[in-house]
Amino acid sequence: MSVPRVWRRRKVLYRLEGAKCPKCGKIYFPARERCLECNTTPLEEYLFSGYGKIVTFTWVYTPPKGFKSRIPYCLAIIELEEGPRLTAQVVAVEQNDVSIGMPVEFAFRKIASEGKEGVITYGFKFRPKGYPNHAK
């Protein structure tokens, strides 16, 4: 990811920030410019709590380019406490430890790097709620 793109997406990647409609209260992730419910614009910035639960998940064994060294890894749809759902990697878990409905929390982690001297991209993943207390 290029430096300008990382800079533009920093609120989403680093803070789990979305948007909230000041008129009807609908919350969005990622942020939008206009509310889909009532057509209000502009929307307010909204910082999510970072807590949620796993709605569904899978283990990835055939990764996209650049992620081969990380297999297998858990990819899940997370429903945030505030309602929106997002797709994210779940870290600090073993295959038998993951379950639907499992409580998770935001974790700030390294996503990728471009060579030895390239851009290092950080962003969000999720881990079991209460980590490291959850770890065995």
Contacts 24+ apart (CB under 8 A), 7-12: 11/45
Same domain, 37 and 100: no
Residues 55 and 119 in one domain: yes
Whether 34 is covered by a domain: the verdict is yes
Six token digits for residue 47: 């910082």
The confidence score (pLDDT) of residue 118 equals: 75
Say if 91 falls within a structural domain: yes
Give residue 106's domain range.
49-131
* Residue 12 zone, left/alpha/beta (φ > 0; ψ -120 to 50; rest): alpha
In a domain, residue 136? The reply is no
Asked if 15 and 77 sit in the same domain, the reply is no
Residue 121 and residue 81 share a domain: yes
Helices (H) and strands (E) in the chain, counts: 2, 8
Shared domain for 118 and 86, answered yes or no, is yes
Q: Is 52 helix (H, G, I), strand (E, B) or coil?
A: strand
Q: List, in order, residues 6 or more apart from 10 with CB less than 8 Å away.
A: none
Digit-by-digit pLDDT tens for the chain (136 residues) are 566 666 666 666 678 899 999 999 999 998 999 999 999 999 999 999 999 999 999 999 998 887 777 789 999 999 999 999 999 999 999 999 999 999 999 998 887 777 777 777 788 899 999 887 544 4
What is the pTM (predicted TM-score) of this model? 0.83
Kindly state whether residues 83 and 55 are assigned to the same domain.
Answer: yes
CA dist., res. 3 & res. 7, Å (int): 6
What pLDDT sits at residue 66? 72
**Cβ pair 108, 89 in contact under 8 A:** no
Give the per-residue pLDDT at 136: 40
